[in-house]
Structure 1
Amino acid sequence: MTEFKTSQEKEIHKKLAIDLFNYTWDLIEKNNRSEADDENMVNAAHASRFHWGLVGTLLNFARGEWQISRVYSLLGRAEPALNHANKSLDLCLNNNLGAFDLGFAYEALARAYAVKGDKQKRDENISLAKQAAQNVQEDGDKAWLLKNVDTVATLSLPKWE
């Protein structure tokens, strides 16, 4: 973690990380995104991850990589989606970040493989995501993970309720 001259600097980076993550999420859910929105979505996701890299935890890193992968999958860019999904998965596996985030890392891989057109690897990762979901204790979290996994084959996105 980076050393800051003041605690205020750390708080600024944390606020930026959170705000940029949420801004990216808003763009992910936006109907009829423009080309400028798509570019902002990519840049905001990377910027959020950058700021988390300065002040966050391994969990923040994994979720940031997951979000970047989601963005690239939405844009039909399989290779960067796979790259960031694999980073999220590595963080989850190497640091025991829990079944919820592990399931979402597999969901990101499945979605990226769906974009790539590799149905076998898509389905393998869907299966791994569903296996991880069985170990999620919180019913709402399990349902949200499975709702996301269920949209991979159609490359659609569930609505947050």
Structure 2
Amino acid sequence: MAEQFLEQEAERRLAINLFNHVWTLMDLLERDQTQIDEMIHAVHASRYHWGNVGTVLESARGEWQISRVYAVLGRAEPALYHARRTLQLCLENGIGDFDLAFAYEAMARALKIDARGEAPESAHYLSLAYQAADNIKEAEDRQIILGDLATLAD
């Protein structure tokens, strides 16, 4: 029993470290191919481990992070796939607040890349993201999403 707990705790720490490492790589202004590959592998590994030791909330956040990685790389199809998974997990499990707003943001961002910035669907999801942001309880969280949404404005 104690051994299983230690294994789960180790996997949880691994998921957290991978998630944070992906942010470090995403924050780079320029990445070489090795860093790009590392970022892709790390984001999928983080989501995998959260699927083993986390809740549906961590799974939704993991899907969101995968979508963002692919959006940063300009890869519309996988960005959209994982944005849809994020939104699906939020809607099916009653996840709202900050996470729902970011699910809509992921959809808007992926669709904008897919249509090279001209998708009416992207504008629709951007509008939904702003509506969801209005319902975020914490002002600091609301400011974070509003800052991200501003990067999608034309």
Which TM-score band applies after superposition, normalised by the shorter structure? over 0.9
Partner Cα separation in structure 1 for residue 97 and residue 91 of structure 2:
10
Matches within 5 A, 1:58-69: 58-69=56-67
1:98 counterpart residue number? 96
Matches within 5 A, 1:17-28: 17-28=15-26
Partner Cα separation in structure 1 for residue 2 and residue 40 of structure 2:
27
Superposed CA deviations along residues 114-149 of structure 1, whole A, max 9, x for unmatched, are 111242111111000000001001000001011111
Partner Cα separation in structure 1 for residue 152 and residue 18 of structure 2:
25
List runs of 5+ in structure 1 lacking aligned partners. 155-161
One-letter amino acid of the structure 2 residue matched with residue 120 of structure 1? P
Partner Cα separation in structure 2 for residue 120 and residue 64 of structure 1:
26
One-letter amino acid of the structure 2 residue matched with residue 100 of structure 1? F
1:122 counterpart residue number? 122
Partner Cα separation in structure 2 for residue 4 and residue 105 of structure 1:
36
Aligned 8 A contact 1:92 1:102 in 2: yes
TM normalised by structure 2 equals 0.94
2:139 counterpart residue number? 139
How far is 1:150 from its partner? Answer: 1.0
One-letter amino acid of the structure 1 residue matched with residue 44 of structure 2? H
TM normalised by structure 1 equals 0.90
Q: Which runs of 4+ in 1 moved over 4 A?
A: none
List runs of 5+ in structure 2 lacking aligned partners. none
One-letter amino acid of the structure 2 residue matched with residue 133 of structure 1? A
Aligned 8 A contact 1:111 1:153 in 2: no
* Overall identity of the aligned pairs, in %: 49
Q: Compared with structure 1, are the counterparts of its residues 69 and 4 closer, same or farther at alpha carbon in structure 2 (3 Å cutoff)? A: farther
Superposed CA deviations along residues 76-108 of structure 1, whole A, max 9, x for unmatched, are 111110100010001111111122100000000
How far is 1:61 from its partner? Answer: 0.3
Aligned length in residues? 152
